[in-house]
């Protein structure tokens, strides 16, 4: 959340940030107008309460003197009614202001490239050799079906389109990928593994910034007002909601493998072949709580932790720095990691590594006490996929397929899967 005092003091900067992220700068005017109304009502309420206290004291004096206090008692009742009515108006005005504040996205970091769409993103590095597929090479969908790794028809029959059903070797391969990534991040990179709930409260999703803006893209359990998590970022970030952390404990590093659920309203019919766009998928998520003085160094470290997964699997990838207009609502800076799928002929995003600065911790009231000043401050949060499995599996199959129809698995994965090759049926 952007602090109200920042919007008051730097409205032009916040207008520019809104424009950078494709939002209307008019939101700043709405907030400032709401703020003026709140402060005016506060002044009026405080004046009436002071007047009420004066009348109350006069009533007490009159009663002690044996005088008739009826007129002041009636005035006191009228003041109480006016205060009650104004308090209600004030609460409504404060709620409207709070809702407007929750609609303001995080401001892009100055180093983030200018631009409005994904076409303006900037490739910053690449790794591995991009191969050209042979004439008989199959794409990820046909490999998944022909090797009986995923039963798309059964998943659609059980739930609907976009809910793949992994079977046999496909289920085992999915489990192997998750275990490989979890072991790497816990044993080598020092993350603490967490197995989180798959449902999150409205307060939790407000903290991480999915609500209120992205509610239509989430699956909601209406009776309980709970949401199926779109990413384990939500429960991991909310581990410390409302808490004061020890400065010496920073950075805190968490990793979780979980199912993720995204409605992606408006995306129906786009990239629905195979695993390129699904509504339920598995992902290993990395979340850090870090000291604000070091958060951009920590972002580079987080990115390296995610890249290690792709290098160990020997898959060609590139790193793309997102432009301002392509950043998520909560991110100040973000790198995407994209795998190359040679038959599909595309770069597939499998990870976004983001710095949210204090945006989420302000929303979640997560603080730490600075040892040098003794004052409370907000840690910065970072998160990155380490990584999402559907497109990872798609790229792994397309890059590993052999002329005989088999798929050779990366060496790092073979002990987890129990074989070097997935043979044709």
Q: Which residues are catalytic, by number? A: 262, 277, 349, 352, 391
Helix (H/G/I), strand (E/B), else coil: 42:
helix
- 3-class SS of residue 245: strand
Q: Is the peptide bond before 270 cis (omega within 30 degrees of 0)?
A: no
C-beta of residue 286 within 8 angstroms of C-beta of residue 305: yes
d(CA 50, CA 270): 62
The SS3 call for residue 237 is helix
* The residue to which tokens 């359990």 are assigned: 221
Q: Is 342 helix (H, G, I), strand (E, B) or coil?
A: coil
Please state, in angstroms and rounded to a whole number, the distance separating the CA atoms of residues 340 and 229: 28
Per the DSSP assignment, residues forming a β-bridge with 212 are none
Question: Tokens 């609609």 belong to which residue?
Answer: 103
Cα(276)–Cα(346) distance, rounded to whole angstroms?
11
d(CA 102, CA 96): 10
Starting at the edge strand that comes first in sequence, how are the strands of the sheet with 376-377 ordered? 244-245, 367-369, 376-377
Task: Take residue 215 and report the two structure tokens written for it.
Answer: 């509610």
The candidate with the shortest Cα–Cα distance to 340, out of 371, 319, 369, is 319
Name the residue among 318, 323, 316, 322 with its Cα closest to residue 335.
322
**Residue 367 DSSP SS3:** strand
């Amino acid at each position: 959340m952007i602090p109200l005092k920042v919007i008051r003091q730097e409205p032009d900067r916040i207008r520019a940030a809104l424009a950078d992220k494709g939002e209307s700068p008019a939101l700043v005017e709405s907030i400032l107008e709401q703020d003026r109304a709140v402060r005016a009502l506060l002044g009026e309420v405080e004046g009436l309460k002071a007047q009420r206290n004066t009348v109350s004291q006069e009533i007490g004096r009159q009663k002690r003197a044996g005088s008739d206090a009826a007129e002041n008692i009636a005035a006191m009742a009228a003041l109480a009614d006016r205060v009650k009515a104004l308090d209600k108006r004030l609460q409504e005005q404060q709620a409207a202001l709070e809702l407007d504040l929750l609609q303001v996205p995080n401001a892009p970091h100055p180093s983030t490239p200018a631009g409005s769409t994904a076409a303006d993103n900037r490739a910053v590095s690449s790794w591995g050799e991009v191969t050209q597929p042979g004439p008989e090479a199959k794409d990820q969908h046909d490999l998944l079906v022909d090797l009986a790794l995923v039963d798309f028809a059964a998943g659609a029959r059980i739930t609907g389109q976009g809910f793949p059903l992994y079977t046999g070797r496909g289920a085992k391969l999915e489990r192997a990928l998750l275990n490989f990534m979890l072991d790497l991040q816990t044993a080598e990179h020092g993350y603490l593994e967490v197995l989180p709930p798959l449902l999150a409260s409205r307060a939790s999703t407000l903290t991480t910034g999915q609500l209120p803006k992205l509610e239509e893209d989430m699956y909601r359990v209406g009776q309980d007002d709970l949401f199926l998590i779109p990413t384990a970022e939500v429960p991991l970030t909310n581990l410390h909601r409302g808490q004061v952390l020890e400065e010496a404990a920073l950075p805190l590093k968490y990793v979780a493998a979980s199912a993720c659920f995204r409605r992606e309203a408006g995306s129906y019919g786009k990239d629905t072949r195979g695993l390129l766009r699904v509504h339920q998928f598995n992902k290993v998520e990395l979340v850090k709580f870090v000291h604000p003085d070091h958060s951009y160094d920590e972002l580079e470290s987080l990115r390296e932790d995610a890249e290690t997964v792709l290098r160990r699997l020997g898959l060609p990838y590139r790193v793309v720095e997102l432009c301002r207009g392509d950043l998520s609502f909560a991110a100040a800076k973000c790198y995407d990691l994209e795998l190359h799928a040679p038959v599909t002929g595309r770069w597939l995003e499998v990870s976004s590594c983001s710095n949210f600065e204090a945006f989420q911790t302000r929303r979640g009231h997560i603080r730490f006490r600075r040892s040098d000043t003794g004052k409370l401050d907000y840690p910065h949060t970072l998160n990155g996929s380490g990584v999402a499995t559907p497109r990872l599996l798609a790229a792994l199959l397309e890059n590993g397929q052999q002329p005989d129809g088999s798929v050779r698995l990366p060496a790092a994965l073979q002990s987890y899967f129990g074989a070097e090759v997935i043979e044709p049926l």
